[in-house]
Structure 1
């Protein structure tokens, strides 16, 4: 479930983005996604957490984008 913070929604996803080459492979697509304000991947975390701050409240578009790029992505509820 996303958290709403000052017109920003924070989405937390479990992924299989394992290393810096994987991060580089998704970077341009995430940077070009107009609703994304900020993003990062914690590749040192066991769940390879992708954190996205966005003006978009629904996670489906982000999940679809990451899946299209060849990576697993599922929203974590907290």
Structure 2
């Protein structure tokens, strides 16, 4: 299962911190950002994904996150 999110993450250093935190909740997942994309894409490949949990986690760290359709 792959989910793609639109974020407002700007810096590579922020990406690393967020990925570490997400991996705590979704171990064995492949997580990456595409900051070159205008939507600052967060992509998560995992067997099970909770979109709301991901959105809530990023929001708790002060970032905007929404599912990209």
> If the length of structure 1 is used for normalisation, what is the TM-score?
0.77
Report the secondary structure of 1:63's partner residue.
helix
Residue of 25, 38, 41 corresponding to 1:46: 38
Structure 1 gaps of 5+ residues are 1-8
State the partner residue of 2:18. Answer: 26
Poorly superposed stretches of 4+, deviation over 4 Å = none
Which has the greater radius of gyration?
A: 1
Q: CA deviation at 1:25?
A: 2.7
- Residues 19 and 31 in structure 2, CA contact (< 8 A), matched pair in contact too: no
Once the two structures are TM-superposed, the CA of residue 46 in structure 1 deviates from its matched residue by: 0.5
Q: Answer 1 or 2: which has greater strand percent.
A: 1
Q: CA deviation at 1:11?
A: 0.6
Q: How many residues align?
A: 69
Structure with more helix by fraction? 2
Unaligned 5+ residue runs, structure 2? none
